[in-house]
Structure 1
Amino acid sequence: MKRVVIVVITVVVLAIGTWIGWPREGGPVDPTAPESTGAFAPGSPDDFGSPASSTENDTGAPPATEEVEGQPGAGEPAIEVSAEPEFDETAPSEPVEAAWDETVRSAARDAARATIAAFAATDKTADDWWSGLKPLLTPQAQPVYQDVDPRLVPVTEVTGEPEVTDETSTLLAEVAVPTDIGSYTVLLTRADGAAPWLAEQIRPPEGS
């Protein structure tokens, strides 16, 4: 009887000791293991063995994209729109009607005189001679006279007053200009009534 009581007490003590030392959940407790917080520590591997992403901030949202210098930010146009070009509102939209009067004749005579004077300036270098004559010629006449050697031009000066000899057209005129070797004829033209007279041809005296 006494032996049975001792065996029973021993079994109860072992059962109590085992119950006290066994963890309540999940098996034996390692006293050296850090206490789990239920969240991954920064930089620690996640369930898939990769470190936690470092691109998220403390709120869990991805960081705002930084603007790059020289590049448009959000909401800004990619191309800068320049101002509209300005137009000269004073420029005539239609050609000015041409007509003959004493002012127009005087302008034609002056244009012819200036043309022959520049043509006769043979004492200048070829470049200076051309620089003086070119602005007085039409764009079509410039290639014709550009390669003229001024040393071969026989006329040297204007000796009298020019005279308009043909004014049949309001946009064309012929003007005779007296020189030291005879009368040169200058054919003038203009784009409209407001445009200047320009020389289209320089004709030497007949028989020269």
Structure 2
Amino acid sequence: MGRLTRAASRWALAAAVLAVGASGCSTETQPEGTAGSAPATTATATPSGAATDFARPDPSQFTLAPEGSVNEDTGQTISPDPAVWDEESRAAAIAAAEAALEAFAHPELDYDTWWAGLDPHLTQEAAEAYVYVDPANIPVHELTGSGTIIEDASAYVATVKIPTDAGRYDVLVIRTSGSAPWLASRIVPVEEAEQ
């Protein structure tokens, strides 16, 4: 089972468990072989693997993973130190997004050279997706300005918009803890509306 499917399955399972808990427990039993009457829940996966059809669980309900655990989806070692939004974090998120897009924006390179430069800037999940990209098909050649954070609802995830010679690109960067590096999860061109 691919990582995208496994991540979506986990979110769907978490939603189902939360839905059952929220609706209360029943002491009635059903005869063996009888299907339950619980409503079906469909989870739609985004490219990053996050489910979008239901509210996410409150992170404060869960305990932190033990130090040294490995995140199965990203391959990163989990650290117990929480992330906070401060100027240093924001600057690091922007720098990571710019570095990832800078490494991505080289259609003139041969594949091996391009991939060696890009891979260190990606999450494991992103690396599994971008490994199939042919750099010759990339329209962007250079960044034409500095990145700006446009979405920062979490201290662990940020979207950075960056102007390029091929138009605006948005780079989604994530980190697993306060001391973990920001890594690119998605690099996408954005068609801006005419002003």
For the pair 1:188 / 2:173, whether they are aligned, the reply is: yes
Alpha carbons of 1:96 and 1:152: their partners in 2 closer, same or farther (altered >3 Å)?
same
Matches of 1:96 and 1:189 in 2, distance apart? 15
Q: Say if 1:93 and 1:174 are closer, same or farther in 2 by CA, change over 3 A.
A: closer
Which stretches in structure 1 are left out of the alignment for 5+ residues?
Answer: 1-87
Point out 4+ residue stretches in structure 1 off by more than 3 angstroms: none
Between the aligned partners of 2:116 and 2:82, the Cα distance in structure 1 is 31
- In our comparison, the structure showing a higher alpha carbon Rg is 1
Structure 2: which 5+ runs fail to align? 1-67, 69-76
TM-score by length of structure 1 reads 0.54
Q: Normalized against structure 2, the TM-score is what?
A: 0.57
CA distance in 1, matches of 2:109, 2:79: 41
1:76-87 equivalences under 5 Å are none
Residue 101 of structure 2: SS of its match in structure 1? helix
Match of 2:48 in 1: none
CA distance in 1, matches of 2:85, 2:114: 32
Could you tell me how far apart the structure 1 residues matched to 2:134 and 2:184 are? 19
Maintained 8 Å contact 1:181/1:205: no
Distance 1:172 1:93 in 2: 15
Structure with larger RCO (C-alpha < 8 A, sep 6+)? 2
Residue 90 of structure 2 corresponds to which residue in structure 1? 105
Comparing both structures, which one devotes a greater share of its residues to helix?
A: 2
Deviation of 1:112 (Å): 0.7
Answer yes or no: is 1:169 the counterpart of 2:154. Answer: yes
User: How far does residue 176 in structure 1 lie from its aligned partner after superposition?
Assistant: 0.4
Deviates more, 1:119-128 or 1:198-207: 198-207
Kept in 2: contact 1:164–1:175 (CA 8 A):
yes
Read off the aligned partner of 1:151 and give its amino acid letter.
Answer: A
1:149 aligns with 2:134: yes
**Structure 2 residue 125 is the aligned partner of structure 1 residue 131:** no
In 2, Cα distance between equivalents of 1:201 and 1:190: 13
Distance in 1, matches of 2:145 and 2:78, equals: 40
Distance 2:176 2:108 in 1: 33
1:121 paired with 2:96, answer no
1:96 to 81, 96, 112: 81
- Report deviation, 1:181: 1.3
